[in-house]
Amino acid sequence: MHKLSLDAVAREHLEKAATASTGRSAGTVYGGHEQKLRQTVLGLTAGTSLAEHESPGEATLFVLSGRVRLHAGDDAWEGRAGDLLIIPPHRHSLEALEDSAVLLTVAK
């Protein structure tokens, strides 16, 4: 069994994002591209966006800290710490409304 602190991983990626030219940092905490399930922690500074992209499969976004907005077409959903956003199965983007950390879970 392997245990890790998502709070600690989130803090680490927020610190890295703060010094990165892109304003973001990410790391897979479970699984990977070769497995069906993948979980990735992303740290995003306020105002940073992930440009519109295709859905990677069934996916959710759990907000660990901060506040984000998920856009898909004309729809948008805001999430704050503790919220779980279901990512729609089509093109979408993500915007950090304040310094934020999220857990992206993807099942292929």
Q: Which pLDDT tens digit goes with each residue over 53-105?
A: 888 789 999 999 999 999 998 999 999 999 999 999 889 999 999 999 999 99
Eight-class DSSP state of 88: P
Q: Are strands 75-80 and 92-96 parallel, antiparallel or unpaired?
A: unpaired
Reported residue count of the chain is 108
The domain defined by 6-107 folds into Jelly Rolls (2.60.120)
Residue 56 is predicted with a pLDDT of: 77
Q: Where are the domains of the chain?
A: 6-107
Percent of the chain surpassing pLDDT 70: 100
Residue 32 is predicted with a pLDDT of: 81
From CA 76, how far away is CA 66, in angstroms rounded?
17
Average pLDDT rounded to a whole number, residues 32-48: 93
Least confident of 11-15, 40-44, 55-59: 55-59
Residue 43 is predicted with a pLDDT of: 98
Residue 108: name the closest of 42, 32, 53, 50 by CA.
Answer: 32
From CA 92, how far away is CA 15, in angstroms rounded?
26
Residue 2 φ then ψ, to 5°: -125, 135
From CA 72, how far away is CA 66, in angstroms rounded?
20
